[in-house]
Amino acid sequence: MDCTLTVSADGLSALLHLPPGAQLALAGLKDLLTAHHVHAGLETGALLAATRPATVERTLVVARGRSPVAGANGRVELLVKEPTEVYGDGTVDLHEMHHFREIYHGTPVARLLPACPGVPGFDVHGVVLPAKAGTPAEFGSLLGPGNLIDEHDPTLARAADSGIYQRFTRGGTSFIQILHEVTVPGDIDLTIGNISSRYPVFVQGDVHATFSLKSQQAITIKGSVEDARISARGDLTVQGGILRGRTQVKSRGDIRARHIESRAVKARHVHADLTIHFSSIRATGDVTAKDIIGGEVLAAGSVTCDVLGDPDGQPTIIQVGVDPGAQDLMTWARERHAHLADECAVLRERCQLLAHRVQTRISAGDDHVSEDHALRQAVDDHAELQATALRCQNILASQADQLAHASALVAAARITVKRQINPGVILRIGAEIELAITEVRPGGFFYRTDDRIWDG
C-alpha cells in the first residue's frame, strides 16, 4: 500500500496515511506535500514521525489550519452600580440593598463598548480565512425617559435630569429611566430593602416588619404597614392599615389610613376611615375616625368620631387644645433644666482638679498628656452643658407666649362624638380640665369655656 495524503474538505487538516512498515524520506515527504499544495500549519513532530518506520498502520496529521474566530459583539455597559455594602466577611445586609439610586443631572448612565473585528484563520494551503466582525451595539430601547446621548460622545448616555435611577425588564427587554418618584412594584421586603429618598415614594404592596421607609416628600402605600419605621415630610397615605407595632409612624404632613391598630402615630392631621384602636396619636391639627377605641389621642385641634371608647371600659384618653410638640419641648426643658445646675457644678469641680494636677506635673517636669486631654474634654463638656442650659432657659422664657398660644388652641378645640361614648373615656380640653365618662351615653359636642367642659 502506498503512502497517501488527504486534505479535509474544509482545508483545515492534512492527513498522511502510512501502511505498516512504511516510511518516507524528507525529500519524498516534501514532494508529496507540494503536490497537494500543503505548506501552512505544518506539524513538525508528525513530519519527523513519518520518516521513521513503524510496524502498524498510521494516520498522521501533518498540517493543521486554524478556524477564524468571530469578533465579539459590541455591548452596552451600565455605569450606575448598585451601592450595596459588602462587609469584610463577604456578607451583605439585605435590608440595605439600595435598589433605588438617586443620581444627578449629567451623571453617566451607560456606554457603548465597541465590537471586536475577530481573528482571521488559514487553511493548510495558506489561504487566509476571514473572520466575521462583531455586531456594533446600539442603545436602542434601553434608554427610557430622563436619559440622553452625550452631544460630544455618541457612545455615552447621561441622565437628562436629577432623579431616581431605575432599571426594568419587560418582555425580555431591559431599559433604564430617570424618574422623579420612587415606585416599588410590590412589597418592601428583603428583595427591596430599606428606602430613604428625597423624592416621593409609591409602594404598590405592603411594608414588611423590620424595614424602614423615609421620604423628604409624600409617601403612598397601597397595602398595609407592618412593624416598620415610616417617616415622611409630606403626606402619608396608607390605603391598607397601619398594623400593630413598636416603631413609630410619623409625617410632617397629614396621615390617612384605612385603620390604625396599636401603634404610635405622629402627624399634622390624622384620619382613619375605620377604627383607631388602642393607639397613641399625636397631632398638631385634627384627628378624625369612624371609631376611636382605647389608647390616647392628643391633638392641638379637634377630634371627631362616631363611637368613642372601649365597650369593655378600657381607658380611652382624648386631649385637645394642646400642641403635643410644644408640650414635649416644654416638659423636656423643665426636666432637663432642673438637673443642669448640679451637673455644671460637678464639671466645674472636675476642671479645677484636673487643672491643678496639670500645673503640678508641669512644675515637676512630668508627662501630663493624659490629664491635659481629660481637662480639655471636661471643659468641652462644661461648655456643652452651658449651651443646653441656655436653650432650656430660652424655651422656658417663652412660656408666656406658649400659654397665649395654648389659650387660643383651647378656645377653638372641639370633641365631636356623633353616636355613642362608652365608659372609661376621659375628655380633656387644654392641660388641666377633664371630664370622665363613667357610663354609656349618647354622643355629644364638647367644648371649654370658663374652666369647664360643656356638652353642646
In this structure, are 141 and 201 located in the same domain? no
Q: What H or E segment, with its residue span, contains residue 49? A: helix 44-50
Residue 416 resides in a domain: no
**Closest C-alpha among 270, 275, 309, 269 to residue 290:** 275
Per-residue model confidence (pLDDT) at position 175: 82
In this structure, are 232 and 207 located in the same domain? yes
- How does pLDDT run across 400-449, given as a tens digit for each residue? 555 555 667 777 889 999 999 999 999 999 877 889 999 999 999 998 88
Per-residue model confidence (pLDDT) at position 48: 92
In this structure, are 140 and 209 located in the same domain? no
Per-residue model confidence (pLDDT) at position 67: 95
Per-residue model confidence (pLDDT) at position 328: 65
In this structure, are 93 and 141 located in the same domain? yes
| Last residue within a domain, chosen from 248, 268, 288 | 268
Q: Which residues contact 25 (CB under 8 A, 6 or more apart)?
A: 51
Per-residue model confidence (pLDDT) at position 44: 92
Dig out the grid coordinates for 161 from the structure: 435630569
In this structure, are 149 and 221 located in the same domain? no
CA distance 167 to 149: 17
Q: Digits of tens for pLDDT over the chain (456 positions)? A: 588 999 999 999 999 999 998 888 888 899 999 999 999 999 999 999 999 988 899 999 999 999 999 999 999 999 988 666 656 666 666 677 667 888 899 999 999 999 999 999 999 999 999 999 999 999 988 888 888 899 999 999 999 999 988 887 767 777 888 989 999 989 999 888 899 999 999 999 999 999 999 999 999 999 999 999 999 999 999 999 999 999 999 999 999 999 999 999 999 999 999 999 999 999 999 999 999 999 999 999 999 999 999 999 999 999 998 887 666 666 666 777 677 777 777 777 777 776 766 666 666 666 555 556 666 777 777 677 777 777 767 766 665 555 555 667 777 889 999 999 999 999 999 877 889 999 999 999 998 887 888 887
Residue 418 resides in a domain: no
Residue 25 resides in a domain: yes
Per-residue model confidence (pLDDT) at position 387: 78
CA distance 123 to 11: 5
- How does pLDDT run across 276-288, given as a tens digit for each residue? 999 999 999 999 9
In this structure, are 168 and 191 located in the same domain? no
Per-residue model confidence (pLDDT) at position 247: 96
pTM flag (> 0.95): no
CA distance 314 to 317: 10
Ramachandran class of 324: left when φ > 0, alpha when ψ lies in -120 to 50, beta otherwise: alpha
Residue 234 resides in a domain: yes
- How does pLDDT run across 297-342, given as a tens digit for each residue? 999 999 999 999 999 999 999 999 888 766 666 666 677 767 777 7
The contacts found for 166-171 with CB under 8 angstroms, 24 or more apart, are 166/100, 167/78, 168/144
Residue 52 resides in a domain: yes
Residue 350 phi/psi, 5-degree rounding, is: -65, -40
**Closest C-alpha among 205, 283, 208, 197 to residue 245:** 208
In this structure, are 80 and 52 located in the same domain? no
In this structure, are 187 and 231 located in the same domain? yes
Residue 58 resides in a domain: yes
Dig out the grid coordinates for 317 from the structure: 384618653
**Domain extent for 136:** 75-119+131-178
Residue 410 resides in a domain: no
The DSSP annotation for 404-449 comes to HHHHHHHHH--EEEEEEE-TTEEEEESSS-EEEE-S-EEEEEEEEE
| Last residue within a domain, chosen from 268, 302, 335 | 268
User: Considering its fold, how many domains does the chain have in total?
Assistant: 4
| Last residue within a domain, chosen from 268, 285, 300 | 268
Q: What H or E segment, with its residue span, contains residue 135? A: none
Per-residue model confidence (pLDDT) at position 330: 62
Residue 208 resides in a domain: yes
Q: Which residues contact 127 (CB under 8 A, 6 or more apart)?
A: 11
In this structure, are 330 and 373 located in the same domain? yes
The DSSP annotation for 313-339 comes to ---EEEEES--HHHHHHHHHHHHHHHH
